[in-house]
Amino acid sequence: MKSRVLNIVAPFIAIVAFLGIWELLVRVLEVETWILPPPTAIFTSMIRDFPEYWPHIWTTGLTILLGFLIAIPVGLIVASLVTSSKLLSAALSPYITMLVITPLMTLIPLLQLWMGYGMKVRVIAVIIQSFAVVNMNACTGFLNVPNIRHELMQSMGANRLQTYFRMLLPSAATDIFTGISLAAIFSTTACISSEYVGGNMGLGSRIIYYKNFLKSEQAFACIFYVMILGILLHCLVKFAQKKIVKWKI
């Protein structure tokens, strides 16, 4: 109980202290608001101008969620195929690694050239960036399952589907959720990166817009909303992990 309270109170105190020091320094040093606005001005804009931000929050949130939810099953399916066949592993693994290490900003202009500037391009960008992380962690989990468990399932006469759902997935669940947690982060960054490059909807495009007009309060407000979306998705993943992974194997 004490550790749980500490995990909640300590970050809260840290963020309050950080924002307090930020506010104090900006006021004392008389920094221009277009360079660095105080937190109070940012929070005021977040509340006052919320109707203006909401369509972009909705667009960004929906893009992140769609791409993230598609990336998880795609990553798991590809990981299952790759780990069950040496031929597929040799053929696909280098390209999956390339997707992880290639900066997304280099791919988005090509995707926009082929498919335009709609939401589908941003969703695809999120899927590309996220599924590879899920895939690599799932592969690690599947390959690290002890052989004795495979032999046990064979001795019990289990078929491939039964082995997969009753032994393989539970055994690799911790690694899979590590990949899903990372994918939650990658989904947010991929979405914002794609909105930076093109389009007039989404928080990423608003950050660029407000920056160009030196509206730093509004730009920081959009950044804070991005942080909130990312934190909410991360918390949902952790909540799902606690509900699903209730064993230690």
pLDDT in tens, the chain (249 residues): 666 666 677 777 888 888 889 889 888 888 888 888 999 999 999 999 999 999 999 999 999 999 999 999 999 998 888 888 788 878 887 877 777 777 777 777 777 778 777 788 889 889 988 888 899 899 888 888 888 887 778 888 777 788 888 888 888 888 899 999 999 988 998 889 888 876 778 898 899 999 888 889 999 999 999 999 999 999 999 888 888 887 654
State the virtual CA torsion across 97, 70, 180, 239 in degrees, nearest 10. 180
State the pLDDT at residue 16: 86
State the pLDDT at residue 83: 86
State the pLDDT at residue 64: 93
pTM listed for this prediction: 0.86
State the pLDDT at residue 249: 46
State the pLDDT at residue 60: 93
Token pair belonging to 85: 């066949």
State the pLDDT at residue 247: 64
Specify whether the CB–CB gap between 119 and 63 falls below 8 A: yes
The residues, ordered by sequence, that sit 6+ positions from 183 with a Cβ below 8 Å of its Cβ are: 68, 71, 72, 75, 130, 131, 133, 134
State the pLDDT at residue 65: 93
Specify whether the CB–CB gap between 72 and 180 falls below 8 A: yes
